[in-house]
Amino acid sequence: MTHSSSNILCLDSGQTDFSERLNALLSRETDTGTDVQELVAGILADVKQRGDAALCDYTTRFDHWNCDARAMSISSERMQEAWENVSDLDREALQLAVTRIRDYHEHQLQQDWDYTDAAGLTLGQRITPLDRVGLYVPGGKAAYPSSVLMNAVPAVVAGVEEIVMVVPTPGGEMNELVLAAAHISGVQRGFAVGGAQAVAALAYGTESIPPVDKVVGPGNKFVAAAKRQVFGTCGIDMIAGPSEIVIVADGGNPAWIAADFLSQAEHDEAAQSILISTDSRLLDQVAESIEAHLQVLPRAAIARASVETHGALIHVHSLDEAADTVNRIAPEHLELALEKPDALLPAIKHAGAIFIGHFVPEALGDYIAGPNHVLPTNRTARFSSPLGVYDFQKRSSVIRASESAVQAIGPAAAHLAHREGLQAHALTLELRLKDNK
């Protein structure tokens, strides 16, 4: 395989040092350093202590507009106004997306259940929604109305009573499409604040912003650090890292594959795109197409930095090797651009979202397909899942026992309590056993 003019790393699974080189490729520094952690800790403590005053100080400093408690509030009326003022095409696209996202997530709803066992205990589980969630919407390099939809709609489906949105507004400029998306997806109110200070406000509450039960939504490294530090005070969805895509291809249109490869690279210089193929000629053709696309894409500088720093073209010698490599990477997005993709699917263990066949680019899932685009990054697909209704619901166990049921299993429980040296625990059972003899 020849090297492309884009200077993308080329690997071959037959190389003796392939495993080491793949590990090096995957060991991107996506976590935040101690300097960021300490800076964020100071912001969190300040907002916790001074509330709105600290929040506005940071907003004035970082977003460069004169913030006050009244100005940072975004009412539901303001969101509705944005919805009415965007174009018909905008409304139609947002409405279609909301409908499809809602329909998909309704399949995730969990139900209460119970059963009665042989001892006579009735055991079960209750499902209840969170009361209030905070939605962080990223801003800055780009505006993401799709992020509003993907975070808010599952919360509404789950039965969350109140959704509070925070969104950075550099220069005080509101993004109308983000506000329109908030309206149509069920956000009740918002605040024009971002960064670690917004996460602090959601976690601890201020005079204007109510504390929430869970903070969801992606952000920059300061937001990620803040979410990590407030976890425990409230819940979080995940620590989101830079975007990732892995494409496994054994044929197809090189221009399509190259575009898919660049779809994540254009997000961020730290994003990672990897193409795996058994066909070295296809890898060369895609490399040429990547360079051709980079000549015309508006965000080419960002995409080029991403692919030349973190991207890779990997030649493997069988689809079994391809599956093994995918599972080591555990990517956020996985495209199986294969002649027989369903044959490889059972071998895939770790991936956030899987796109089957040549006609399903990752971007379809980003906006309109229905499944959630908030996905585990940085190899966390090994142990975590896409955002869903289950992130906005919680489970309570339920135990109901009759006298005879306690007689049946209580002695064993009392014995175990004694063995642990917890005599009061044992006493609670022994009194009931004695009194009902």
Beta bridge partners of 377: none
Give burial (CB, 10 Å; 0-12/13-18/19+) of 191: buried
Which of 310, 315, 333, 373 is an active site residue?
Answer: 333
Token code pair at residue 378? 């940085």
How far is residue 91 from each of residues 95, 100, 144, 231, 337, measured CA to CA in Å?
Answer: 6, 14, 15, 36, 32
Of 244, 266, 332, 362, the catalytic one is 332
Distance CA 120, CA 138 (A): 52
Kindly report the backbone phi and psi dihedral angles of residue 133, in degrees, each rounded to the nearest multiple of 5, phi listed first.
Answer: -125, 150
The answer to whether 153 and 390 have CB atoms below 8 angstroms apart is no
* Cβ atoms of residues 311 and 9 within 8 Å: yes
Closest by alpha carbon to 362, among 250, 229, 273?
273
Look up tokens 């690279």; give the residue. Answer: 265
The secondary structure of 82-105 as a DSSP string is: HHHHS-HHHHHHHHHHHHHHHHHH
CA 330 to chain centre: 14
Would residue 333 show up in a list of annotated catalytic residues for this protein?
yes
Q: What share of the chain is helix, strand, coil (3-state, %, to 5)?
A: 50, 15, 35
Query: What DSSP element (H or E) covers 129?
Result: strand 122-129
Q: Beta strand 113-116 with 122-129: parallel, antiparallel or unpaired? A: antiparallel
Distances (CA, A) of 119 to 63, 154, 410: 63, 39, 11
The tokens describing 230, both together, are: 């407030």
Beta strands 312-315 and 333-337 are unpaired
Tally of residues, the chain = 437
Strand-pairing partners, residue 314, are 11, 276
Active site residues: 332-333
